[in-house]
Amino acid sequence: MQIKYFKSTWGMTESSIDDKLKRISEAGYDGVEAGAPDERREREEMAALLSKYHLLFIGQQWTSGRSLEEHKSSFERQFNNNMELNPVQINSHTGKDYYTKTQNVELIKYCNMLAADRGIKLTHETHRGRFSFCASSTAEVIGEMPELRLTADFSHWCCVSESMLEDQSDLLERIYPHCDHLHARIGHEEGPQVSDPKAPEWKYAEAKHLEWWTRIVQGHEEKRDAMFPITVEFGPPNYMVTIPFSKMPVTDLWEANLYMREMLKTKLIAGNHK
């Protein structure tokens, strides 16, 4: 198994996609995670730039709409756009927390069918507001769909449950084997993102996330030729705390994500890191 590090374009302030991808490449990331542009010309430009900078691509998308059918249509439109950029994987925010399990399963099966038809790996991100907003809802869907594959971002579950999931170990054991991608952001009991991952007051949260991430990655160790993607994903304001009255972020976003990558290369147990 080869661990590959991806950088999300979320929160990057460079004015062009060229500048964003160039900076990501020069910083030594293996790839980028982003949503494909809506305009064909912009997708063609981005495809050329991914090749120019030798970056792998994970397509990010978000289902939306008033109805289940609209969610299906939104997935298909974004999926087709992302597929034009030759992704190694698609990551989806899927469904809604207020949909029934039956509705969410119907949507996930539709999305999985499209991905299977095109031969691309599709993972569904654990995220607030989606079918996977908490560990128990995710485990229920796994019970209905043992084939479900996930992008693990457990920072959301910390926030939703106001805990570090200490009392949900049985649920986590059921979920770990379904995780094929990590979003590396550190959450805490009252939010999905600590103020600064370098700060000593958050080391307990870092340690807990490393425990979860290590369990997930260790489950892939036997897949010697496979890639395991990790996207560093600290986000900008208002995910990031700001100083009152100034809207100034309390830490540098780029540096926070660089710290996450280097910390993972040092502390994450298992796998070969580039």
Looking at residue 224, its pLDDT comes to 63
Q: How many domains does the chain have?
A: 1
Say if residue 238 is preceded by a cis peptide, omega within 30 of 0. yes
Paired tokens of 54: 């030798």
CA distance 217 to 183: 12
110 φ, ψ to 5°?
-65, -45
Which neighbouring-strand residues pair with 32? Answer: 7, 57
pLDDT for 23: 98
Closest-CA residue to 208 (of 146, 266, 158): 158
Tell the residue number behind the tokens 């900078």, with chain if given.
Answer: 53
Q: What is the CA radius of gyration of the chain?
A: 18
Spell out the residues 6+ positions from residue 185 whose beta carbon is closer than 8 angstroms to its own.
153, 155, 192, 193, 232, 233, 234, 235, 260
Of 134, 128, 150, nearest in space to 229 by CA: 150
- List the helix and strand counts (H, then E) for the chain: 9, 11
Cβ neighbours around 117 below 10 Å, total: 8
Distance, in Å, from the CA atom of 89 to the CA atom of 59, rounded to the nearest integer, reads: 6
> With the C-alpha atoms ordered 240, 152, 104, 79, is the resulting torsion angle positive or negative?
positive
**Confidence (pLDDT) at 272:** 55
What pLDDT is attached to residue 225?
Answer: 66
Largest CA distance in the chain: 51
What sections of the chain are H helices per DSSP?
A: 17-26, 40-52, 68-83, 101-118, 135-144, 155-161, 169-175, 203-218, 253-267
Task: Give the Cα separation of 234 and 10 in Å (integer).
Answer: 9
Which pTM value belongs to this model?
0.96
Nearest to 76 by CA among 85, 88, 63, 87: 63
Range of the domain at 119: 2-273
Q: DSSP letters of 201-218?
A: GGHHHHHHHHHHHHHHHH
Q: Two tokens at 220? A: 């892939």
According to the model, what pLDDT value does residue 223 have? Answer: 72
> Which CATH number fits the domain that encloses residue 233?
3.20.20.150
Q: What is the pLDDT along the chain (274 residues), one digit of tens a residue?
A: 899 999 999 999 999 999 999 999 999 999 999 999 999 999 999 999 999 999 999 999 999 999 999 999 999 999 999 999 999 999 999 999 999 999 999 999 999 999 999 999 999 999 999 999 999 999 999 999 999 999 999 999 999 999 999 999 999 999 999 999 999 999 999 999 999 999 999 999 999 999 999 999 999 887 766 899 999 999 999 999 999 999 999 999 999 999 999 999 999 965 555 5
Q: Report d(CA 149, CA 8) in Å as an integer.
A: 20
